[in-house]
């Protein structure tokens, strides 16, 4: 079995920064430490950080004291006010690229533009971004929703960082016709693009693709979607324990990729499990051959 590893996979810059930040704060000790929502959409990493002392809160009003980490997805503007009013210690690990979108949205909202966000209305990043324009942004996630938009004088369009470029282009082309003046910002993150392109490249060359990452992770699920476009046999796993070794052993070339929230140690475990299997297979075949000879 040949193993093809995607050129870009695993932690993106923003997630790595947030995890490093959390690990540093854990070491610092001091007041109780919480993240507002799970730090990353990866259950294994979340559990590990929990064991080290990082609590998770769903609502900022759940705590009266302590340190709060804002994860890479960012939060609505009003959360900063609550943190300040309650004298909580803020550790802001919002990804700088997401922060950039939030600032842009605020700037154009203040200038009277209608904000349109291309993305999933239930995703934390989008909920956070909308909170920078008083939750008055319109969130569209497909062509039909864009078609149904009314017309506006001035529109500012931004995108969820993990969107696919084709989707952004398709929807934004419709929105361009909905306003007299339309400011279009392709805020798709380069890390996403790099992972998606690398994923396509290996999927095209592989008989099967293993996508490693949280089942709830949106960017991992997008890699699954892309892989399925170019390869018939795609397996989404969270850890080495989910590896369908029996099923994949019949394929010659197997591609491996991982979502932006998948820690390196999990990727390494999967690869070494496959390599060990490969070695065992080689040894088994060599033994069989030697018996025959
Ligand atoms: Fe940031 Fe891009 Fe990652 S926006 S969190 S570096 S996917």
ipTM: 0.99
Q: 128 in ligand 1 pocket by Cβ < 6 Å?
A: no
Instruction: Give pLDDT tens digits for 109-140.
Output: 999 999 999 999 999 999 999 999 999 999 99
pLDDT for 183 equals 98
Reduce the DSSP state of residue 196 to 3 states and report it: helix
Q: CA 111 to CA 107: how far, in whole Å?
A: 6
Shortest-distance Cα residue to atom 2 of ligand 1: 189
Which residues have C-beta within 8 Å of that of residue 14, sequence separation ≥ 6? 72, 95, 96, 97, 98, 189, 191, 260
Residues of the chain with pLDDT under 50: 292-293
Q: 13 in ligand 1 pocket by Cβ < 6 Å?
A: yes
Q: 12 in ligand 1 pocket by Cβ < 6 Å?
A: yes
Stated as kind and residue range, the H or E segment containing 100 is: helix 96-110
Stated as kind and residue range, the H or E segment containing 22 is: helix 13-28
Tokens encoding 190:
């380069």
Distance from the alpha carbon of residue 180 to the mean position of ligand 1, in angstroms:
32
What does the domain layout of the chain look like in residue ranges? 2-9+191-292, 13-95, 97-188
Q: CA 216 to CA 37: how far, in whole Å?
A: 13
- Would residue 125 show up in a list of annotated catalytic residues for this protein? yes
Instruction: Give pLDDT tens digits for 282-291.
Output: 666 666 765 5
pLDDT for 206 equals 98
Give me the CATH code for the 13-95 domain, please.
3.40.50.11270
Catalytic residue selected from 7, 51, 125, 269: 125
pLDDT for 293 equals 41
Q: 189 in ligand 1 pocket by Cβ < 6 Å?
A: yes
E strands, the chain, in order: 2-5, 33-36, 54-57, 67-70, 89-92, 114-118, 138-140, 152-159, 179-184, 208-212, 234-237, 253-258
Q: DSSP characters for 39-73?
A: SSS-HHHHHHHHHHTEEEESSGGG-SSSEEEE-TT
Q: Please report, rounded to a whole number, the percentage of residues in the chain having pLDDT higher than 90.
A: 86
Cα torsion 163, 188, 223, 42 to 10°: value is -100
pTM: 0.86
Distance from the alpha carbon of residue 90 to the mean position of ligand 1, in angstroms:
20
Decide if 2-9+191-292 and 97-188 have a common fold.
Answer: yes
Distance from the alpha carbon of residue 97 to the mean position of ligand 1, in angstroms:
6
Ligand 1 closest atom vs CA 12: 3
CATH level 3 topology of 2-9+191-292? Cobalt-precorrin-4 Transmethylase; domain 1 (3.40.1010)
Are the beta carbons of 258 and 267 closer than 8 angstroms?
A: yes
Q: 161 in ligand 1 pocket by Cβ < 6 Å?
A: yes
Domain 97-188 maps to which CATH number in 3.40.1010.20, 3.90.1150.60, 3.30.70.3270, 1.10.3720.10? 3.40.1010.20
Pocket test for ligand 1, best of 9, 10, 11, 15 (most atoms within 8 A of CB): 15
Give how far the C-alpha of residue 45 lies from the chain's centroid of Cα atoms, to the nearest Å. Answer: 14
Ligand 1 closest atom vs CA 98: 4
Which residues have C-beta within 8 Å of that of residue 148, sequence separation ≥ 6? none
Are the beta carbons of 181 and 223 closer than 8 angstroms?
A: no
């Amino acid at each position: 079995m040949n193993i093809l590893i995607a050129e870009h996979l695993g932690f993106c810059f923003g997630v790595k920064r947030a995890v490093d930040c959390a690990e540093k704060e854990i070491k610092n000790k001091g007041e109780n430490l919480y993240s507002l929502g799970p730090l990353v959409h990866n259950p294994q990493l979340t559990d590990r950080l929990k064991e080290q002392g990082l609590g998770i809160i769903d609502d900022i009003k759940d705590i009266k004291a302590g340190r709060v980490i804002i994860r890479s997805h960012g939060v609505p503007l009003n959360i900063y006010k609550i943190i300040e009013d309650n004298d909580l210690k803020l550790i802001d690990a919002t990804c700088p690229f997401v922060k950039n979108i939030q600032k842009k949205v605020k700037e154009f909202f203040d200038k009277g533009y209608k904000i349109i966000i291309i993305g999933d209305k239930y995703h934390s990043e989008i909920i956070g971004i909308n909170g920078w324009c008083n939750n008055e942004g319109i969130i569209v996630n497909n062509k039909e929703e864009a078609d149904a938009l009314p017309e506006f004088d001035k529109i500012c369009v931004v995108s969820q960082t993990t969107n696919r470029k084709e989707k952004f282009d398709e929807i934004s082309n419709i929105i361009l016709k909905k306003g007299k003046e339309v400011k279009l910002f392709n805020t798709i993150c380069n890390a996403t693009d790099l992972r998606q392109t690398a994923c396509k490249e290996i999927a095209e060359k592989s008989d099967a693709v293993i996508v490693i990452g949280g089942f709830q992770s949106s960017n991992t699920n997008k890699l699954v979607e892309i892989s399925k476009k170019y390869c018939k046999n795609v397996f989404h796993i969270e850890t080495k324990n989910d590896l369908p070794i029996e099923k994949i052993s019949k394929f010659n070339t197997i591609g491996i990729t991982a979502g932006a929230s998948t820690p390196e140690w999990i990727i390494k475990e999967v690869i070494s499990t496959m390599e060990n299997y490969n070695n065992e297979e080689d040894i088994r075949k060599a033994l069989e051959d030697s018996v025959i000879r």
